[in-house]
Each structure stands twice: as C-alpha cells, then as structure tokens.
C-alpha cells in the first residue's frame, strides 16, 4: 500500500465524483461530499479540544453523520470509539472511565445524564441526532489539515461483548482496518459496480468496518438505512448486488411473502 494511513487509502481510489451514500431520508452523498462532511466534523471535534491520539466516544443513533465521525477521526488522528446505543449511563461510565475520551458525542435526549459521566474524565460533550442535528454539526463550520497518521497508529477501539468478564477494548490500527477491507474486496470480488443495502448498526464491526470499509475501498455505493425493515429491503433488492446482515435479518426475509427468485434477480 502506497498510502500512509486509512484516510489516505480511502481517497486514493479515484472515486471522488461517484455516488457513495443514498439515505432513507432522501439525502445523497458523493464520495467527495461525504469526505467534506467528515472534514467539517473533524473541525468541530478539534474545536471541542480533541488532539491526535485522543479517543472520541460516540453513542448516537445511526445516521450519515454518525458514520462520518469515523472518517473524521481517521483524517485527524483521533481514535474512534463507538458505543452501543442501548448502553445505560452506568454502562457508559465503565467505557468512559476505561478509555478516557477527550470528547463524548451523544444523542440530545441523553445529554444531561451523560454530561455527568463525561465530567468524570473531563471530556467535552457534543450532541448528534438521527437527522443530522445537534451541537456537533452546528460547530462543523470549518476545515482541517489532515493528520499524517501511520499504519501502526490506532484508528479505533471496539469493546468486546464481555461474555466472560468485563468488556475489553480491542485496539485496531489504520493498517488493521485497511488490510481487512482490502482482503474482503478481493475475496468477495467487489467492484465499483456493486451496491450494498446497509441496514446494520454502525457501533458493531460488521456494519461499521466490514460493510462500510469494504464498499469504501471498492468504490461501490450504499443504500443506507437507519434500521432494518423487511418490506424496505425487499423493495431495494432489485437495485442492489449485496446485503450484509445478521441471522435475524435473513429469518425475517425468509418469512416475507415477497421473497422470490425474481425479486432477488
């Protein structure tokens, strides 16, 4: 890889003018537009006090802006730390005290209770709702100079499920994310002609890195849904070449009366 980090690799694919994200709220982003959005969010995080090497904890509902925070972190040298939206304030406290983020991005309706959590590590708190509103986007008014992260630098921390003890932070470097996505592009033979129905959460590695990064590096396009709905997915299938999901997705599709060979052709 000639690029020096994941952000540089993502922009080296020659896909700037291609359609990248088509959302269920009617919005659409080319690769260049989404990249610019990430730059503005990076500016807001920097204004909140984040510096290269800092963790950015994120517990918000799925939206284009929510996943653009990952790119904002990759561009700025921040470490992206997504948290399950179902976590209670008590559970978030464990992750915040363990990771000590510089900034915590939360849903507006949880701002008050999570400010108390953030105060434990003196983290700044910004808000983001599922429509792209909140103080994070309101502060996203400038541009940044990309930070020259190296392949071995941390890009993200994903906490384990904690089935045999307390959750542990799995540290993922820029090189880890790039090698994983490039291997999947090759193994699955993804190309710029592929269209993915993205209905997974973006706080787990499946929706966040497996799906999103693979499409990013293949130059393909995503039909970005905030949640899984069997009727919606069936309607989209003729427009798509791939769907990534969990077993419950497929069970519900198998039970759908519209699932025929013609519907998936």
Q: Which of 99-108, 238-247, 253-262 has the lowest mean pLDDT?
A: 253-262
Residue 2: its pLDDT value, please?
56
Mean pLDDT, range 234-257, rounded to an integer: 95
Per residue in 186-228, pLDDT tens?
Answer: 999 999 999 999 999 999 999 999 999 999 999 999 999 999 9
Question: Which residue ranges form the domains of the chain, and what is each CATH number?
Answer: 6-254 (3.40.50.12780)
Give the helix/strand (H/E) hosting 32: helix 31-47
Residue 133: its pLDDT value, please?
97
Q: Give the Cα separation of 66 and 112 in Å (integer).
A: 20
Residue 186: its pLDDT value, please?
98
Per residue in 31-90, pLDDT tens?
Answer: 999 999 999 999 999 999 999 999 999 999 999 999 999 999 999 999 999 999 999 999
> 45: which residues sit within 8 A by CB, 6+ positions away?
56, 69, 72, 73, 76, 78, 103, 126, 136
Give the helix/strand (H/E) hosting 137: helix 135-138
Mean pLDDT, range 109-138, rounded to an integer: 97
């Amino acid at each position: 890889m000639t690029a020096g980090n994941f952000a540089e690799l993502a922009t080296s694919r020659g896909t700037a003018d291609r359609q990248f994200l088509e959302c269920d709220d009617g919005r659409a982003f080319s690769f260049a537009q989404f990249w610019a959005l990430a730059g503005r969010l990076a500016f807001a995080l920097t204004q909140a006090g984040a510096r290269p090497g800092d963790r950015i904890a994120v517990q918000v509902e799925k939206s284009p802006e929510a996943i653009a925070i990952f790119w904002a972190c990759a561009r700025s040298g921040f470490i992206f730390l997504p948290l399950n939206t179902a976590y209670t304030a008590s559970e978030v406290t464990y992750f915040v005290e363990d990771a000590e983020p510089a900034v915590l991005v939360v849903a507006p309706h949880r701002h008050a209770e999570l400010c108390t959590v953030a105060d434990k590590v003196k983290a700044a708190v910004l808000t983001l709702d599922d429509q792209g509103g909140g103080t994070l986007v309101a502060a996203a008014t400038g541009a940044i100079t990309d930070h020259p992260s190296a392949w071995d630098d941390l890009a993200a921390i994903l906490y384990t499920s904690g089935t045999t003890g307390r959750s542990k932070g799995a540290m993922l470097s820029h090189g880890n994310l790039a090698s994983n996505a490039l291997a999947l592009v090759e193994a699955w033979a993804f190309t710029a002609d592929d269209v993915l129905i993205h209905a997974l959460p973006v706080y787990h590695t499946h929706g966040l890195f497996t799906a999103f990064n693979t499409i990013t590096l293949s130059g393909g396009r995503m039909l970005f849904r905030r949640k899984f709905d069997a009727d919606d997915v069936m309607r989209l299938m003729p427009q798509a070449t791939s769907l990534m999901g969990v077993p419950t997705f497929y069970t519900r599709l198998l039970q759908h009366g519209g699932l025929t060979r013609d519907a998936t052709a």
